Amino acid sequence: MSEPAAAEGTGAKANEAAAARSWLEPESRSRRILFALAIYIACLVVFALMAGDRLATHTPYNHFAHLADAWLHGRQDLRGGAPGYAGNNDFAVFEGKTFISFPPFPAMLMLPVVWLAGSPENFRDAQFIVWLAGVGPAVLFLVFEKMRRTGRSVRTEKENLQLALLFAFGTVYFYSAVQGTVWFAAHVVGVGLTAMFVLFALDNERPVLAGLMLGCMFLTRTTTLLLGAFFAFELIRAAYMRQSNGPLPSEGTLGDRMRQTFDGIDGKWVASRAFLFAVPVAGALLLASWMNYQRFHDPRPWAFGHEYLTVGWQTRIRRWGLFSYHFLPRNLGVMLASLPWRLPPGELAAGRPPFMISGHGVALWFTTPLYFWLLRPSRVTYLTWAAGAAALGPLMMNLLYQNSGWFQFGYRFSNDYAVLLFVMLAIGVKRMGRVFWMAAIWAIAWNLVGAATFEREKYGALYSHDANAVYPAD
Alpha-carbon radius of gyration of the chain: 24
Q: How many domains does the chain have?
A: 1
Residue 471 pLDDT more than 50? Answer: no
* Backbone CA torsion sign across 380, 385, 391, 397: positive
For residue 401, the cross-strand partners are: 323
Max Cα-Cα span within the chain = 89
Tell me if 138 sits within 8 A of 37, measured CB to CB: yes
**Using CA atoms, how far apart are residues 104 and 221, in angstroms rounded to an integer?**
9
Q: What phi and psi, each to the nearest 5 degrees, are found at residue 464?
A: -85, 130
Lowest mean pLDDT among 22-26, 111-115, 237-241, 299-303: 22-26
With respect to residue 45, please indicate whether it lies within any of the assigned structural domains. no
Task: Tell me the per-residue pLDDT of 412-447, one tens digit each, with 9 for 90 and over.
Answer: 999 999 999 999 999 999 999 999 999 999 999 999
pLDDT grade, residue 474 (50/70/90)?
very low
CB 235: neighbour CB atoms within 10 A?
21
With respect to residue 10, please indicate whether it lies within any of the assigned structural domains. no
pLDDT for 120: 98
pLDDT for 73: 97
Tell me if 396 sits within 8 A of 226, measured CB to CB: no
Residue 49 pLDDT more than 50? Answer: yes
What's the mean pLDDT when you consider all of the chain?
Answer: 92
- b/e per residue, 127-161, with b = 16+ CB within 10 A? bbbbbbbbbbbbbbbbbbbbbbeeebbebebebbb
**Using CA atoms, how far apart are residues 131 and 128, in angstroms rounded to an integer?**
5
**Using CA atoms, how far apart are residues 347 and 350, in angstroms rounded to an integer?**
10
Tell me if 296 sits within 8 A of 94, measured CB to CB: yes
With respect to residue 473, please indicate whether it lies within any of the assigned structural domains. no
pLDDT for 472: 44
pLDDT grade, residue 359 (50/70/90)?
very high
pLDDT for 261: 82
Q: Residue 353: what residue type?
A: P
C-alpha dist (Å) from residue 263 to 34, 181, 315: 43, 50, 52
DSSP state of 362: B
Residue 8 pLDDT more than 60? Answer: no
Residue 38 pLDDT more than 80? Answer: yes
Asked whether the bond before 128 is cis by omega within 30 degrees of 0, the reply is: no
Lowest mean pLDDT among 149-163, 233-247, 421-435: 233-247
For residue 93, the cross-strand partners are: 98
pTM of the model: 0.93
Tell me if 152 sits within 8 A of 427, measured CB to CB: yes
pLDDT for 462: 92
Domain that holds residue 363: 52-464
Q: What phi and psi, each to the nearest 5 degrees, are found at residue 291?
A: -65, -45
For residues 362-377, give the mean pLDDT. 97
Lowest mean pLDDT among 11-15, 105-109, 231-235, 281-285: 11-15
pLDDT for 263: 81
